[in-house]
Structure 1
């Protein structure tokens, strides 16, 4: 079985500690909603009065203050009928935000539930969405741990980008995304939308959401429904993100003795803008089509070849020097593929390759190809029926100034939430999900500089903004330099993107891989880097299987890639290259050396401490902590839910904290300090003093217990 932290290191203490959010009380108790921050007035318990009814409109004298819930301007023209709630299972209740003085214990949560108040998603500021009746809320308000109770109003549900649209008198229906409370159903929403002359066009089980068509002036009426949690702009159209790769990331060595890894026995799902060409000889009988109604796609086939083509056709095929339609929008393809195009832009054949020259990273892996339509829903059958073990995605949403959606960069969206759900086991089994970070940095759009060296930050488009996915940027395979196109973080809430980088182009050309018609072609982009990492993940999974060990948590896979990565100057992580360039041999050796520890923080404030003896002369102590966090509420301004802290204590008591970046100054080098933003923390100590060190994992704030974590500790 997978070892807990006590399996290889001694547990020294399980210490309670109070959750401290900030020294300033106003900051500590601010509820950071994207629809507007709320700083509620504390309850005056001496004046609480039980309401005479339990109607959803019930409020409490001197106990409920919803300062951000101002009245919304009425719709122009004739008011629309309010949605029917006759069939809504939440109709007899109302939605509140309940704020506590500190994160409540499991006993406190159980007590509230026995009183009729159920806590739902955590939204920050010691606050939770809650489902309750007016009477139950009044009873809960008498609890000394409850600081404030705020009723959720329609305006609290409507995202800022939608507010301007509801003033419109237009009768033209528009698409919007609706996030439901998890105790509500899509069927209920469909009935309510129909009552407003709208329709549901797509649903997502993982994010409990739907895309609807409705007149903008009807949005406020829909927001009155107890089923609806948030209403935001519908996602834009998706776009694709587009020799030496195997060698650059260490896969070439892993395919030889003593490793002998090919990805055999591992099944991966690939989501793309079309299907992988089954006719290509490099896939033989290892490729299954998981979607119907989609056509074969050049980009998807190229991605699959990088991940798992066996290169069987390399010696007899000719390589096409790539055409100009292989990468993303906004001029990206022309700027990247110019080195491989002729003056006319036509494809030019060259000599056939050498034996296995264009082999992928995991040539023995099994592949299931999916079209990118409704991908979070498609993962259910892929996991439960097809048995995929990881998910590869080289696509993202189109963000463009002409579309007016530049604010989407860095945003934690409904689909990001859905992918976080999947990683944490929503469909019965946890799997790692790999995403390309995007190619937006040099397109000169959304206020970015169009001049080299393109030092543009914060241009990562959803859904790679999810917390638990592995986000991959692109470097050149022949010199490890950063490419001109690879998107850089941070996200809107300051999180690190990308996590790591891998080869996605060449200084002197492109990445060659499979394309339809049993041929090969060159492309560049983070689309090429992500499948190289996905192939690497397949090798990590295979190595674990060879050792007859239990399946690792997705957070352990991420920690292995990050801990094994080769740092790219300056020291520590950065918003350009993440934790550095993937080095698969290092990561596989960590598995072979049994360096992965999986543990759990069960309660808020718990600390798990492990001891480690360091001998004299050690050059470096390196510790990586990662966890798959509970999905965040898309209405929260901070996506982190369970906040773990990593602390290293030297034999003489010196405290060493993890790397920390400043999202307000993204070009500055990492320093060391407490991190309350990311789901990965890494601490390194150069020339650590000899003696017994303490490695501490602290449950700084655990509103959704229990939280599993992955820990890797090495010295050299």
Structure 2
């Protein structure tokens, strides 16, 4: 058995320093980070596959041209509702496959707005420095006023598409018109015509592209029934691209065919029920297929109501996988139009729901890079989105909106709490091994664990078999949570009972599994195993856990702060200890403008290069994650004397009552007296607000202040139990 010790927050120190103090002012996908993605992509396999795709494209274009010539059909047409239809492919059975844009006659629904500056989380995210690919019926109007210079043609296409412009605006519009502001309004779009989509995506993904949006698909009224829900060659091709470029994730619209009555032989129910309508790359395993939702969101980002949009295509796919994966807002989206550089339009459909999710995912990649210095693999990003989605209606996933409505706010909080109450880890399972980790439930929320992996392309391709249930899954991983002999299983759906609620059991078809333990208390073991042989002898996977006590870190403000000892050029501050806690200590000259910060794991810190006769201030706080910080401790003041002493020789710091002092009368005229339990050795210092020491003496006697000028002063008292200060005013 392979046992992995939980990952605590020790690796957070550098990222915390950057995120807390803003040292990293420019984020983005640098060439160095693109090179890391290139290294992790299977370049040889991708080059070979691109050559195969190019040859395949030439063959298909020849077949298409022959069909067009023989049948007298149009290759491209524009329908009355504005949709663009183009003969794009020839199926393995000879069926002409028409691609169509998926609009039908966002950021709030996905909670992406919580990640903006002044949003609920106030993270300042906008996608700046990141690129997202858009493939569509043409390219966006790159000169539109909402895009600045951030929309560019990625393939040199000059044919401008109104639909591509709408999609691009939903992604990156800057907000010249505020209600048209895009989800990732600082990002850059590389806009492409869909003609060579697989070839161009394969090349871009191998060279660092993280995300692409595809708001189009096969037109549902021009294919035989067996196509619906089938894993066909185009499904396999896209899975192969994602498998060989593990940082790249494809996001596609589910389609708008729910009321089309196009599938007369669905794998569940009657045609009018609207099930079994997903086509082409919408049935791929590794990508995200996005449904449209009608929702109500509260002012704190909570989902109050959600239902699948009446147009949105439903699953299941034929092998029973959970598709669509997620839902986004596709209703009445106001966005850019290509008529002029200042024109806008309103559109609805899964075409608009998909870019809302794509933009949210891009912000999460930006946030992960800011926190941890690198990007998530696609399986991690996908798993995070599914793990944190808002459940809808009955518990668990369904074939209407998958795992629920995208919740970027919850996903960002999961990233923030990594190493504290969550895990977001990228692991590898070797053949014939077991991965195991033990965690404690935090007792305040359900314990939830998910695994997500980018699976190898399916081995079976449907070539005409109606509702064939052969699984597309190649490497079947399993996750379980156990405690005291009881095993908790993941969610799964049954395509033969597509309208029924999800159940729990052995999931044989999905490359994402989620296990939940309600009212979890105590220690649990999370185990990941596999069935059969693993292709290539291993499978990378991502583990997401929430509702756990990963670290014993304390976010209580440190107590008992005080001086421990001094030397000729330094003083050491000490405070109460807590396990696995990072401390930030701040210090400065008394009434100085800027605090100096240091980070330590120990509960003491030596402040060096101090000046004798100067008064300093110090305070400490606990840090568990970027989102888990305590308040600062009380501020202590101390005068550095420049000689060596142990300040707590009689009563070591932390084992007695801290010294508490008051001074009276206050304001004072002639004299003051210290009110505290003092030893005969207690001494005082009177310090100006500029840090200059005026006088010293015994603190157990009345102190003459008659000759002091009017103003504010600090009285510092040092005794065996420590040093304390208070302020008084001299009339």
Both proteins in one fold, TM over 0.5: yes
CA RMSD in angstroms comes to 3.1
Q: Work out which of the residue numbers 215, 220, 223 in structure 2 matches 1:394.
A: 215
The answer on 1:476 being equivalent to 2:294 is yes
Task: Pick the structure with more strand per residue.
Answer: 2
Partner of 1:531, secondary structure, is helix
Taking the aligned partners of 1:589 and 1:264, their CA distance within structure 2 comes to 20
Q: What is aligned with 1:200? A: 59
Which stretches in structure 2 are left out of the alignment for 5+ residues? Answer: 9-47, 68-90, 297-304, 463-469, 549-731
CA change 1:271–1:359 in 2 (3 A) is same
Pairing partner for 1:460 from 274, 278, 286: 278
Relative to structure 1, the CA distance from residue 697 to residue 384 in structure 2 (aligned partners, 3 Å threshold; closer, same or farther) is closer
Gaps of 5+ in 1: 10-181, 194-198, 204-209, 215-229, 315-355
Within the candidate set 236, 243, 263, 2:97 is matched to: 236
Can you list the C-alpha shifts for 1:5-30, whole angstroms capped at 9, x where unaligned?
64528xxxxxxxxxxxxxxxxxxxxx
Candidates 130, 133, 139, aligned match of 1:275: 139
Equivalent position of 1:252 in the other structure: 113
The 8 Å contact of residues 143 and 149 in structure 2, kept in 1 or not, is answered as no
2 CA distance for matches of 1:581 and 1:383? 27
Q: What is the aligned partner in structure 1 of residue 561 from structure 2?
A: none
Q: 1:674 Cα shift? A: 0.3
CA distance in 2, matches of 1:285, 1:7: 45
The Cα of 1:202 is off from its aligned counterpart by: 4.9
State the alpha-carbon separation in 2 of the partners of residues 628 and 267 from structure 1.
22
Residue matched to 1:286: 150
Aligned-partner Cα distance in 2 for 1:410–1:493: 8
Match of 1:421 among 210, 215, 240: 240
Structure 2 vs 1, CA of residues 362 and 453 (structure 1 numbering), >3 Å: closer, same or farther?
Answer: farther
1:8 aligns with 2:19: no
CA distance in 2, matches of 1:188, 1:398: 23
User: C-alpha separation between the residues in 2 aligned to 1:271 and 1:623?
Assistant: 34
Which residue number corresponds to residue 682 of structure 1?
514
SS in 1 for 2:360: helix
Q: Is the 8 A contact 2:251 2:358 kept in 1?
A: yes
Structure 2 residue 337 is matched with structure 1 residue 515 = yes
What SS does the corresponding residue of 1:295 show, helix, strand or coil?
Answer: coil
4+ runs of 1 displaced by more than 6 Å? Answer: 182-185, 187-190, 210-214
- CA deviation string 1:177-223 (max 9, x = no partner): xxxxx899859989xx9xxxxx82459xxxxxx98979xxxxxxxxx
The one-character-per-residue Cα deviations of 1:4-60 (angstroms, maximum 9, x if unpaired) are 964528xxxxxxxxxxxxxxxxxxxxxxxxxxxxxxxxxxxxxxxxxxxxxxxxxxx
Taking the aligned partners of 1:310 and 1:666, their CA distance within structure 2 comes to 41
CA distance in 2, matches of 1:500, 1:398: 21
CA distance in 2, matches of 1:601, 1:251: 33
Task: Check conservation: 1:282, 1:311, Cα contact below 8 A.
Answer: yes
2:441 pairs with one of 610, 614, 620: 614
Contact kept in structure 2, 1:236 and 1:399, CA below 8 Å? no
After superposition, the Cα gap between the structure-2 partners of 1:211 and 1:452, relative to the gap in structure 1 and judged at 3 Å, is closer
Q: Distance in 2 between matches of 1:674 and 1:201?
A: 41
Distance 2:448 2:141 in 1: 43
Q: Distance in 1 between matches of 2:315 and 2:252?
A: 14
Aligned pairs for 1:4-83 (under 5 A) are 6=5, 8=7
Tell me how far apart the structure 2 counterparts of residues 471 and 489 of structure 1 sit (CA, whole Å): 10
Decide whether aligned partners of structure 1 residues 597 and 202 sit closer, same or farther in structure 2, where only a CA change above 3 A counts: farther
- In structure 1, the partner of 2:257 is 440
| Conserved 8 A contact 1:358-1:512 | yes
Is 2:566 aligned against 1:566?
no
Report 1:72-111 matches (<5 A): none
Cα separation, 2, equivalents of 1:189 and 1:559 = 34
Whether the 8 Å CA contact 1:623–1:714 is kept in 2: the answer is: yes
Whether 1:362 aligns to 2:184 is: yes
Residue 165 of structure 2 is matched in structure 1 by 301
Query: Matches of 2:54 and 2:415 in 1, distance apart?
Result: 48
Q: Deviations along 1:247-298, whole A, 9 cap, x unmatched?
A: 2221222112430000111100000011101121111111110123451111
> Structure 1's 566 and 397: CA in aligned 2 closer, same or farther, altered over 3 A?
same
Aligned match of 1:633? 459
Over residues 565-617 of structure 1, what are the superposed CA-to-partner deviations in whole Å (9 max), with x where a residue is unaligned?
110011000001111111111111112222311111110x32111101125x4
Q: Deviations over 1:292-339 (max 9, x none)?
A: 345111111111111111111x1xxxxxxxxxxxxxxxxxxxxxxxxx
